């Protein structure tokens, strides 16, 4: 496997009601690359947010499986699948925060 840069590992922050609620407790959720491991995710977060001087305490990773979607049209039913994706829940040291999530 080739070495991934920090921007390649962290694809985007996940903005949902649950993730915004968890950010108040120091847990931030990101969509990550399928091949990234916890060590790479931790290093990428600390590199991308080094201006805030964040320290990652824990990284939990899970893969959301693809779901089947159906849609009816005039010509019949169309079936398809959503893509599977991977997300990481990153816990920061107490008292630290990422400013990006605070404005949402």
Q: Is residue 22 part of a domain?
A: yes
Whether residue 3 has pLDDT greater than 70 = yes
CA atoms within 13 A on the CB side of 44: 24
Split into its structural domains, the chain has a count of 1
Q: Is residue 62 part of a domain?
A: yes
Report the share of the chain in percent with pLDDT over 70: 94
State mean pLDDT over 67-76. 87
pLDDT band at 30 (very low <50, low <70, confident <90, very high): very high
Q: Is residue 73 part of a domain?
A: yes
pLDDT band at 101 (very low <50, low <70, confident <90, very high): low
CATH number of the domain where residue 40 is located: 3.30.70.330
Q: Is residue 52 part of a domain?
A: yes
Adjacent-strand bridge partners of 80? 69
Q: Is residue 81 part of a domain?
A: yes
The domain of 33 spans 6-93
Whether residue 60 has pLDDT greater than 90 = yes
Whether residue 103 has pLDDT greater than 60 = no
Q: Is residue 25 part of a domain?
A: yes
């Amino acid at each position: 496997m080739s070495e991934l840069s920090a921007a390649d590992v962290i694809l985007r922050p996940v903005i949902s009601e649950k993730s915004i609620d968890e950010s108040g407790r120091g847990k931030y959720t990101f969509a990550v690359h399928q091949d990234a491991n916890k060590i790479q995710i931790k290093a990428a977060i600390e590199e991308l947010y080094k201006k805030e001087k964040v320290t990652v305490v824990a990284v939990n990773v899970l893969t959301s499986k693809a779901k089947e979607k159906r849609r009816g049209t005039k010509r019949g039913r169309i079936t398809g699948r959503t893509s599977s994706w991977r997300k990481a829940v990153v816990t920061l040291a107490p008292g630290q925060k990422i400013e990006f999530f605070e404005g949402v």
